[in-house]
Structure 1
Amino acid sequence: MTQALMLSGCWDRNEINDYAFWIGTALDLSENGKLQKSAQIAVPADYKSVKGGGGNNQRANIVLTATGSSIGDLTQQIQDKLPRRVFLGHRRSIFIGEKLARKGLIDVMDQFTRNTDTRLRTDIFVVNNGEGKELLNINSPFNQFSAIVAVEQDRFCRLGDTALRDVLIDAGRDGIRPSMPMVEISPKNQQEKSKIFDVRSVAIFNKHLQMVGEVSGRESLDLFWAKGVLKNQFVTEELEEGSIALYESNLKQSIRTAFDGNKLKAHIILAGTGRVLENNMDIDLSVSSERNRVERRLNAIKAKQVEETIKKLQLKYGQDVIGIGEEFHREHPYRWKELRNRWDQLFPTVEVSVSVKMNIQSTGDIRRRIIGKGERE
């Protein structure tokens, strides 16, 4: 007697062709004050032809936009426009328009903390003087997805690697306030228009997740070094004898806190190693005594610059995005109970000092300049 073997397939499985891959998100404030959400969705057919160099000028993605009152409702509106199920597992970045950032992000962040499809490693940015959806429409020559370009550019521009997870952690603590890198569409010429954007500023938030200001350029690097997230940087310093350009790496930070009566004090120690890239001074840095003298002068200049940046954070914005309050919490847990609810009022009064210990370990392949200043070529 023979028995028939019955095989059944997986009736509820989802094929990869059933998904629409959501690569980037933009959140903005519409003209009527409603929340606007945009999605950068991969278009597999166009991506394949672009990658293969078949001469197709089509974009490898499509940007869809919806307007409403909640993130969940907007996500469903975008889903209604697609013949495939949206999949957030490959989302690389989130862009927040500056208007929305200044209004506040508490309601926006609530959805991110509850949605199990959200990757907490997703990078997050504020768009300086613009809207997030503008970034999704950037057609970069380096990658068909501007959401991925922003992540890679953020790492190489030295402004840290701020993820959604980092913002949520800082927002949930009493002794630090969140900060986010800022992207800006500011083409310097027609060739860069709609193709290039800059990452060079940092947005400052208060405990209500409202953007209150920004720092840019050298100040943004000082902030992230003092915060302990900057790992390397290229800098040029001006001395009386001329300029010197360095590549600084192995950057580290430590903070010590103390009480002087009722006065709060914090001392920030910054350290690292430097490699000379350009020496426009008639100083032979291979000579230990000369190199040590230049190191001391450079460290004093750097310490003053960082102190000025922190003073700006204290007096202009009043927000501790460095985490000095968290150091008071760790070192003085019992006294911190008296400070935690008043930290925004106390932070501007903290006496902050900075010392820098940057050692020049490499001066290049030559000793003195090939041609000294004032000499004939």
Structure 2
Amino acid sequence: MKIKVIVIFIICSMFLTGCWDKVELNDRAYVISLALDDIGDLLEVTYTIPNLPVITAQSGGEATKFIKVTKAETLAQANRDFGKKSNLRINFDHTKVIIFGADFLQNTDNLKKVLDHFDRNPEYSKSLLLLATKETGKKLLQAVPNGEETTGIYLSQVFINNSLETVSAKTIELGDFISRMYSTEGNGVMPNIIFEDNEVVVDGLAVLREYQLKGWLEDQYMTPYSWVLGKGKETIALVDMQGVLVPYEISDLTSKMKFDMQDGLLKIKIEIICEGDIAEYIFEDKDRLFNTDYIKNIEKEIALSMEEDIDELIDIIQDEFGVDIINAYNKVKTSNRKVWELTHSNWEDYFRAASIEVESKVSIRRVGLSK
């Protein structure tokens, strides 16, 4: 009988006690954004952490965030060393953004090591946004854009809340990036972020080749880039009609690729099919937009303009970067197995030498409701 009572007492005491490793909310350092920079032989890691007591009105003060900087040989070591500078336990459950500085991306080993760290560690969400900057990630996180206190949250909202497909064409998440880098032996892209005139601006792409920064695709090419990816909704194509700039606002767009091999040369045909509206015109001459022949003429000029823009983009991708950033590899793999079998073992060489033809088909659906 005594033994039964003792056992019951022990079981009850187990349920009545708290978790031995429980950490209170205010005892955690929830990292919102993380920046990685190369400083010689060391990795500099910058953490942005919200000041929870101030945010939850449990204590006075004005700063809603604080920034911690740690230097170490590896990211794992930097995270461990964080505890030497803080009485809080570091936590990545709510991390939104990881920013890579330009110097960091110049070192092949840097990217390989941190991607392995992110892939092994379940604390990091695979939906984290990855960003690059031409300067240092530390400088970007220390900036205060538009009066916002937490740069990481602001940056994530730029991508999450913005419906423009030129922005979605740049969105790169951690899980997708790791998969792409693994399947292409280190080739990929990530958005470039700059801080200018107290504004955080999404400005083109960082292009990576063999786990190293190869160059920057300037923002002027992002609209044709989104067309090639089939993400051109809400973008605008401009055409000059006898001295009048006519904006064509795209409401729907699809992109297709066709592949062939001729005399050992890879041939790719990119077909862009889109429809949209004339967004504005000269007020006095608006009746011309109700002339069928004139509309067909505009459609032809818009198609030609889009083809020229994409041709210029393709030349830069092939000649300057030599990296397939238009997802042609995955498309040939699913659409033309015969060509894929011939090219997949040496795809990047075939892609750099490929003959790429662009054809655009444009339809104007609306020119206005009044005449």
Task: Tell me if TM exceeds 0.5.
Answer: yes
**Where does residue 79 of structure 1 map in the other structure?**
83
Q: What are the superposed Cα offsets for residues 3-44 of structure 1, whole Å, 9 maximum, x if unpaired? A: 9876513323343233221100000111x3421111101111
Partner residue of 2:128 out of 111, 122, 142: 122
Q: Post-superposition shift, 1:245? A: 2.2
- In the aligned structure 1, how far is the partner of 2:333 from the partner of 2:282? 45
**Where does residue 208 of structure 2 map in the other structure?**
205
**Where does residue 110 of structure 1 map in the other structure?**
116
**Where does residue 144 of structure 2 map in the other structure?**
139
Give the SS at the match of 1:279.
coil
**Preserved CA contact (<8 Å) 2:214 2:321:** yes
Q: Post-superposition shift, 1:88? A: 0.8
Matches within 5 A, 1:160-309: 160=168, 161-174=171-184, 177-187=187-197, 192=198, 196-206=199-209, 208-280=210-282, 282=285, 284-309=288-313
- In the aligned structure 2, how far is the partner of 1:219 from the partner of 1:342? 27
Q: Post-superposition shift, 1:235? A: 4.3
Moved more, 299-308 or 252-261: 252-261
Structure 2: gaps spanning 5 or more residues: none
**Preserved CA contact (<8 Å) 2:237 2:302:** no
Q: What residue identity is the alignment partner of 1:21?
A: Y
Give the SS at the match of 2:333.
helix
Q: Post-superposition shift, 1:231? A: 4.1
Larger fraction in helix: 2
Give the SS at the match of 2:204.
strand
- In the aligned structure 1, how far is the partner of 2:277 from the partner of 2:266? 36
**Preserved CA contact (<8 Å) 1:175 1:323:** no
Partner residue of 1:314 out of 297, 313, 318: 318
**Where does residue 41 of structure 1 map in the other structure?**
49
Cα distance change, pair 305–169 in 1 and its aligned pair in 2 (3 A): same
Considering only aligned residues, what root-mean-square deviation do their CA atoms show, in Å?
A: 2.7
Cα distance change, pair 228–83 in 1 and its aligned pair in 2 (3 A): farther
Q: What are the superposed Cα offsets for residues 100-133 of structure 1, whole Å, 9 maximum, x if unpaired? A: 11223112211111111111111111102x1001
Q: Post-superposition shift, 1:345? A: 1.8
Q: What are the superposed Cα offsets for residues 317-354 of structure 1, whole Å, 9 maximum, x if unpaired? A: 11111122222222343553442232222212111111
Identity of aligned residues (%): 17
Matched residues, number:
353
**Where does residue 37 of structure 2 map in the other structure?**
28
**Preserved CA contact (<8 Å) 1:154 1:199:** no
**2:167 is equivalent to residue 159 of structure 1:** yes
- In the aligned structure 1, how far is the partner of 2:349 from the partner of 2:150? 43
**Preserved CA contact (<8 Å) 1:176 1:322:** no
TM-score (norm 1): 0.85
Give the SS at the match of 1:172.
helix
Q: What residue identity is the alignment partner of 2:272?
A: L
Cα distance change, pair 85–234 in 1 and its aligned pair in 2 (3 A): farther
- In the aligned structure 2, how far is the partner of 1:34 from the partner of 1:15? 33
Cα distance change, pair 99–91 in 1 and its aligned pair in 2 (3 A): same
- In the aligned structure 2, how far is the partner of 1:246 from the partner of 1:60? 44
**Preserved CA contact (<8 Å) 1:142 1:149:** no
Cα distance change, pair 331–277 in 1 and its aligned pair in 2 (3 A): closer
- In the aligned structure 1, how far is the partner of 2:355 from the partner of 2:248? 30
**Preserved CA contact (<8 Å) 1:176 1:321:** no
- In the aligned structure 2, how far is the partner of 1:329 from the partner of 1:288? 42
Structure 1: gaps spanning 5 or more residues: 368-377
Moved more, 9-18 or 309-318: 9-18
- In the aligned structure 1, how far is the partner of 2:185 from the partner of 2:265? 17
Moved more, 231-240 or 14-23: 231-240
**Where does residue 370 of structure 1 map in the other structure?**
none
Partner residue of 2:63 out of 59, 65, 81: 59
Q: Post-superposition shift, 1:304? A: 1.5
Cα distance change, pair 251–65 in 1 and its aligned pair in 2 (3 A): farther
**Preserved CA contact (<8 Å) 1:175 1:324:** no
**Preserved CA contact (<8 Å) 2:238 2:302:** no
